[in-house]
Structure formats: structure tokens, C-alpha cells
Amino acid sequence: MSAVGIVAVSHSLRLAEAAQELAAQMVPGGTVPIVLAAGAGEDAGGAPILGTDATRVAAAIDELAAVCDGVLVLMDLGSAVMSAEFALELRASEVPVRLASAPFVEGLLAASVTAAQGASLDEVAAEANGALIAKSAQLGDEPQAPAGSGGPELEESAPASAVSRPGEGVRTVLVRNPAGVHARPAALIAQAAAGAELRLRRLPDGDPVPASSMMRLLAFGARPGDEVQLAGDPAAVERVAALFEDGFGEMDGPPSTSGSVSEDARSATETRRGALASDGVSTRSARSTTPASLSPGSTLRGLGVSPGRAIAPVAQLGAAIPEPPAGRLPAAGREAEAERIPSAAVEVVAALRAAAAGSDGEAVQILEATALLAADPEFAAGAAARVRAEGVSAARAVWDEAADQEQVLRGLGGRLAERAVDVRSVRDRIVARLTGQEVPGIPERADPFVLVARDLAPAETATLGRSRCAGLVTEEGGPTSHTAILARALGIPAVVGVAGAVGIAAGTTVLVDGEAGIVRLDPPAGEAVVSADQVPAFDGTGLLADGTAIPLLANVGGAADAVAAAAAGAQGVGLFRTEFCFLDRAEEPTVAEQVAAYRGVLAPFAGRKVVVRTLDAGSDKPLPFATATDEENPALGVRGLRVAREHPALLAHQLAAIAAAGAAEGAQLEVMAPMVATVDEARDFAAACRAAGIVRAGIMIETPAAALLASELLAVVDFVSLGTNDLTQYTLAADRLSAPLGALNDPWQPAVLRLIAAVGEAGRAADKPVGVCGEAGGDPALAPILVGLGVTSLSMTARSLARVSARLRALTADDCRRAAAAALGAPTATEARAAAAAALG
């Protein structure tokens, strides 16, 4: 469902059609529903009669009410206004309606552009009503604000639009991309200006902003539809004008920024953990940390969750940078202290650029944009001036300068407010250099390292893949924690639940064995790093030895995963964890942003099956814009589909975006909901999918309630997919993040196998597909058992495809059924494993 639809009321149908055509050009793809209520029909000779009709306006509102959350009515003049007012009494629908006093043509353009971004009715109305401001100012109808500090002086007799100096170029450009001048366009502008003198001014009355200042560009806040004046070096003006005209390459929606680490997302997870103990150390970590011998040659044990072996020096996850104290320096030492700031900033820029050079894809843009922020001469100069004037330390001055910048960005709201996190990131990097601390989060190293941490926040895992991390060791976490899942997806050997690991000194060489679950300190020289067993690559068809087809699909979290999965031969996507695209977002992504993110996953699988899961926010994957941070027990709280009870628009927007992405890419789209416990939830979800135009709707079986109701659930949905990670945690009542409970979080537990068997049986009876998309699906030993229990497809990290395929190719359907029956009869997980192995000889 679209957020806002528009009714255009005009005396003239031709005028309304022409205005609609103009508006459509501002919104490529025409995603904003506009209904015309224009003219009063035709005379006997077929000529249009000018006029307006309240019943037509009412019908237009009712038509939009079926597909929109709100309706804005724009009208030309005279009786059009009266018809619109009367229509409010005639209409049958209840949808919120606003009548806008906006000018008809400009208002329609502004409203269309704003509505296309998924803005609220109030926001769309405000944009429409402000649509004349730019024109009025340009024509001199309004007094001009004086040029701001740092910008050029206006000559007294110069017209308001000419802020140029002799010999300079001037251009007026329109912000065309849907997200406006956010961080990425700001970075492109700064790069295109390439040190040349260039100023940007938002018309009609913005202050000039130098293109050399990334901070000021971020705070610039130009939005779609804004006019911007460029003045300065003629060549730079042309280069930057071309960027605006091209919509910064974002005319299909801005690229995902999911790669940047959000402190908000991290702190949401920390809040959850911190809730367990008031001193900020969770009882979970206290429980798992027992004294361990850390002398050379000693071995620490944990749970191997991602196979492979790696040897490298340890790097600890950088802790949060504490606020520097606000002391006072003697006057004599201030100059030297101030001079430390630009050199620390230069070092940070160099480190970021080096990291960018060693990265690829989206990571390069993110690192380059952060480097540009760090290179901002105004930031370093502002901080240095504080040292000289206030006598504070260099670290404190950087901290305070960043706080001011953040406040400016937050005041601008929306996506720009979200960039405050980038300013903090630059602040922390510079302060870390100045004070000799590790940069917070995943270390940035030129050489491979073994990352040691208590655990990783979901947002930190997002940056793991672009670091030089060769192995991973955590004190917390279980086999199905997000950290374990990500390590497997990235092919990084990992051991979780290693008591005392954070005590290993940085720089110590360790061997990580992700199969055996051991970490050896200072291993003997020559200890071999043996790669995982070599198996033939997956050929793209999951088959049993007797020819039974078992499609092997991939679990993905975004476009990069999808591209890798397609290259690994995945027959489709069995689980697209959409929440992974938005872990760093403080506010709900717009529909346009969502469409762009989903298309990135659908595109590599055109013509093939892609199962998109709606946001599984909450519990171990909190999303700041969807999740409460004060739940006593988030795993049993408002997570997954339950979030839609409190935020129905969130689900409606997501389904609209998924449907639009599916239509654009032509994959075989299926959509499923996480964390379903009742038949009503499943029925409502399926109805919402169908209303959004999604043909195949399913649910995940992650709760014992859903497993026990599988027959009833399959009566209202088209398929189910077993989320064995959560099904196991809820069946065994064992937190999947808990290291001490790792052995309970085992899908071989007979109670879990019996629930899976019940679901398989229900699927056979209903003749509907039963998939597995939990980590169990990628375990070559368990896969045949799942098939024997009635599972019809398996979805896994792309790296497991080859091993699972090889195992299934060696067995018939009868073999799988026999082994499943043997496992099902066993009283313990250990005996189930042994019984299955014996049955398969």
C-alpha cells in the first residue's frame, strides 16, 4: 500500500493531465498514485466542458483510499475549492484527507516527489504548500537572507541569485534524486570539486556552503525538489552540476548504506545485554568467563561454529571511546596541543583510504565518504581553535566540535540526522589516535588478524566481511547466534563460547580451529593450516541418488550475498533476511530505499525462486526504528511479525516495496513472515500479502505452537519454512545467544526432530512445500534426516551448498527415511546422531 495518494482537482482535464505528466517526470517509475477529478465532461460536440464536480472528487478519494494510507487533494481555484470541500462530506471511505492550499502545478510536483519517498501525509502536504517558495524568492518576491559567514560577500547591487565573483561560473540546479543531498551525494560533490573553490547555496535563502567541507555539505540538507545554486570555479561548477542532473546516480533509489556501523544499533543490543546486570556487564558474560590459562601453548575450548583453521595475531574488538576529561591546559602548551589535531586527522584519513583501497563494492564508498569527513579542514580548524581559546586538550576539543556538528545534523532530521553517526565515527577515530586507543569496533588492519571479542553487535557483524579478519573467537554466543551465522556465511573459522578469551593479549599469535572448537595460543612454528575438506563445487541441482529433486537454496542478507550465492550455484534464495539491510538505520527506510535493496537480491535470481522474509526485528536483531529497547525478555517479546501489531504501516510499506521489487526484477517471488504462533496471524499475513499483490505467501515455523498447528497453518498459507534456530531455542527453552546453553541449542535434540517430523507430515498431507532455512539445513549430516522427515527444500549459507549436495547425492529417499526413523526413535541428541550414522552405514 502506498503511503500517500493525490487527487488533482481542476476545471480543465487537459491542464490536469499535463500537470500529471510533468509530475511523472519528477518521479521516474510513477510510483505515486494520482487520480484526476477534472473538467465537467463533454458537450454534445465532444468538446471538454470546464468545471469541477464534487462527486468525482469524492469518488477519486474513495478510489485512492483502497490503496493508500492518506490522500492529499490539490485543486486549482474557485469552484474547485468548493468541490473539494463538499467531497469530504460525500466520500464513503475513512482514509485521512488533507486539502492543500498549494499552487496546483508546483504543488502537484512537490507532493509527487515527496510522496514517492514514502513521506507521511503531513510531510507531503507541507512540501506542496511550500512549493512556491523557491520561485517567489528567485523572482525577488521575498527579501533575501544575507550571505552566511564563511561565504562570499554579496555585492550591494547584485541580484539575489548572483553570489559569484568575477570570472566565476554560476549554475542553478535541481535536486532530483529521491533522497536529496545525503552522505553519498555530499561525498561525490566534495570529490568532484577536487579542492577547487566552489560554493553551494540552497535557494531561495540558504547560506553558501563550501564544497571543501564535508561536514557543511552534510548539514546543507538539500531535499528532493530543492533548487541549488552553484558558484565558483567554472569547471567545478559544471562537474557538480552534472552530478545533480544525473541525480547522483540514484534515480532508482539510493544505494543501501547498510555497511556503516551504527552505534544506535549497537547500543540497542548493549541495552538488552546490560539489562541483565546494572554494572554494564551482563550476567551472561560473567557466567561464561572463568579463569583460563593464557600461557604460550595453552589451549582454550569452545564451540566450533564455522569450519576451517586460521593462524594470525589477535586483535581485540575496540571498546567505546570514553569522553575525554575537560581539563585546562596552561597557555604555553596550547599551540603545540592544537597542532596535534590536523596531524591526527591526516593519519585517520590515510588509514581510511588504505582500508578503502583494500576493499571493494559498497565498502569503498563508505570508507571514502568517512575519509572525506575526516579530511574536512573546517572540522580540524574548529577543534584546534577550541584548544587555543578554551585551553582544553586536543581530544576534548575534537569531542566538543563533533558534538556541535552532530547537533546541526540532528536538527535537520531524517536521513541527515542519521549521518550524525558518521561524525561520531570520525570523532572516535581522531580521539583514538590522539590518546593511543584502539578504534572502536572491528579493527582496521592491513594484515590478517584473529578477532577476539565478548560478542559482536549485529551492526558490527555488518563490517566484518570487509575487514582482514581471518578467524573469530568470542566468549559468548551459541551455534545459531547472529555472529556464528555470519562467520559461516563469510567462511571465517570461528569458535564461540570460549571462556576467558578476552584476556588474550592483543598481538598474541593464535590458531583457531573452527571444526574442533579450540583456540591454541602461540602454536608451535610450522603448525599447518589445513583447509576444509575439498568437495566438488555444487553444480546447481540438488538431487538424491535416486533422482528425487531437493532444491538447494541460499540464505542471504543483501545484494552482495545474493551475487555470491548465485555464483555458488544456489537454485534460488530460501531466506532473504531483510532486516540485515537496515541494521544501522535509526528511522524506517523509505519505500524507494527498500525497493532498491530488495531488487539487489532479486536481480541475480531472475526467473528463480526468492523467498523474502519480512523484517525479523527484535530479540538478537534489534532495529532501532522498530524495536522497543526496554523489554524484559525480548526473545519472548515483540519480535518478527508481532512488530506489525504496533506498527502496521511498517509491514504495509515493506510488502508494497517487496511487490514493487518483484515486479521490476521478475524473480519467482515468495514472501514469508517470521515468528508466527497462531493461525490468525498467518491468515492475516497472507491476506496482507495478497492485498499487496504478492501471490505466494508463507510463514516460518519457529515456535513449537506453529509446529503443532502445521496442518491448520498450511490451510491458510502456500508454504512453510522451518526456522530451526529459533524452533530449537524455543523448544528447549534455551537462549540461542547463550554459550553455556550451546549444547541444548542442538537441532538433533529429539524434541526438535519430532516437531520437524510433525511439520513434514502436515506438508505431505496438504501437498504443500516444507523448507528448512535454519542452520540445520546446511549441516551435511542432518540434511538427509530432514529430507527423510518430509522436508522438500533446504536453504543454507552459500558455502555449505557443495557439502550438502555431495552428501545428498550419495543417498536415496529410502535411505533418508530410514535414517530419519532411526534418529526419531532416539532418546537423546547424541543417540540420534549415532542412530542416523548407523542407519546410513
C-alpha cell at 478: 551459541
Q: Does 574 bind Mg ion (CB under 5 A)?
A: no
Q: Is the Cβ–Cβ distance between 80 and 52 less than 8 Å?
A: yes
Cβ nearer to ligand PEP, comparing 622 with 774: 774
Beta strands in 395-548 (DSSP E): 449-453, 469-474, 494-496, 509-513, 518-521
Cα(first)–Cα(last) distance of the chain, in Å? 55
Interacting span for Mg ion (CB under 5 A) from 142-150, 196-204, 220-228, 701-709? 701-709
Cβ nearer to ligand PEP, comparing 371 with 623: 623
User: Minimum CB separation from ligand PEP for residue 583, in Å?
Assistant: 12
Cβ nearer to ligand PEP, comparing 340 with 577: 577
User: Minimum CB separation from Mg ion for residue 726, in Å?
Assistant: 4
Residues paired with residue 42 on neighbouring β-strands, in sequence order: 48
The answer to whether the peptide bond before residue 204 is cis (omega within 30 degrees of 0) is yes
Cβ nearer to Mg ion, comparing 681 with 726: 726
Hey, CA dihedral for 116, 121, 123, 126, is it positive or negative? positive
Give the neighbor-by-neighbor strand order of the sheet with 34-38: 34-38, 2-10, 68-75, 97-100
- One symbol per residue from 614 to 633: x for binding ligand PEP (CB under 6 A), - otherwise; what is it? --x-----------------
Cβ nearer to Mg ion, comparing 422 with 726: 726
Cβ nearer to ligand PEP, comparing 105 with 722: 722
Q: Does 725 bind ligand PEP (CB under 6 A)?
A: yes
Q: Does 401 bind ligand PEP (CB under 6 A)?
A: no
- One symbol per residue from 149 to 168: x for binding Mg ion (CB under 5 A), - otherwise; what is it? --------------------
Interacting span for Mg ion (CB under 5 A) from 2-10, 192-200, 287-295, 725-733? 725-733
List phi, psi (to 5°) of 225.
90, -15
Q: How many residues bind Mg ion (CB under 5 A)?
A: 3
Q: Which amino acid makes up residue 286?
A: A
Block residue for cell numbers 498467518 = 682
Hey, CA dihedral for 461, 462, 463, 468, is it positive or negative? positive
Q: Is 63 exposed, middle or buried (0-12, 13-18, 19+ CB in 10 A)?
A: middle
User: Minimum CB separation from ligand PEP for residue 601, in Å?
Assistant: 15
User: Minimum CB separation from ligand PEP for residue 579, in Å?
Assistant: 8
Q: Is 626 exposed, middle or buried (0-12, 13-18, 19+ CB in 10 A)?
A: buried
Which residues are known catalytic residues? 482, 773
Cβ nearer to ligand PEP, comparing 152 with 618: 618
User: Minimum CB separation from ligand PEP for residue 725, in Å?
Assistant: 3
Q: How many residues bind ligand PEP (CB under 6 A)?
A: 10
Q: Does 575 bind ligand PEP (CB under 6 A)?
A: yes
User: Minimum CB separation from Mg ion for residue 614, in Å?
Assistant: 12
Measured distance CA(427)–CA(405) in Å, rounded:
10
Cβ nearer to ligand PEP, comparing 590 with 745: 745
H helix intervals, 139-253: 183-193, 214-220, 234-245
774: partner contacted, choices Mg ion, ligand PEP, none (Cβ within 5-8 A by kind): ligand PEP
Binding test (CB under 5 A) with Mg ion, winner from 723, 778, 784, 790: 723
Site for ligand PEP in 692-721 (CB under 6 A): 702
Beta strands in 608-713 (DSSP E): 609-613, 668-673, 696-701
Cβ nearer to Mg ion, comparing 348 with 752: 752
Residues 6+ apart with CB under 8 A from 211: 189, 190, 192, 193, 196, 198, 199, 200, 217, 232, 236, 240
Q: Does 611 bind ligand PEP (CB under 6 A)?
A: no
Binding test (CB under 5 A) with Mg ion, winner from 726, 735, 746, 779: 726
575: partner contacted, choices Mg ion, ligand PEP, none (Cβ within 5-8 A by kind): ligand PEP
Site for ligand PEP in 768-787 (CB under 6 A): 773-774
Q: Does 735 bind Mg ion (CB under 5 A)?
A: no
User: Minimum CB separation from ligand PEP for residue 694, in Å?
Assistant: 20
DSSP strand pairing (518-521 vs 469-474) = unpaired
C-alpha cell at 567: 555464483
Q: Does 726 bind ligand PEP (CB under 6 A)?
A: yes
Measured distance CA(636)–CA(630) in Å, rounded:
13
H helix intervals, 233-282: 234-245, 263-274
Measured distance CA(836)–CA(841) in Å, rounded:
9
| DSSP secondary structure letter of residue 385 | H
User: Minimum CB separation from ligand PEP for residue 580, in Å?
Assistant: 9
DSSP strand pairing (209-210 vs 309-316) = unpaired
Binding test (CB under 6 A) with ligand PEP, winner from 724, 749, 792, 805: 724
Q: Does 264 bind ligand PEP (CB under 6 A)?
A: no
Interacting span for ligand PEP (CB under 6 A) from 301-309, 411-419, 517-525, 722-730? 722-730
Catalog residues that contact ligand PEP under the rule CB under 6 A.
Answer: 575, 577, 616, 702, 723-726, 773-774
Catalog residues that contact Mg ion under the rule CB under 5 A.
Answer: 702, 723, 726
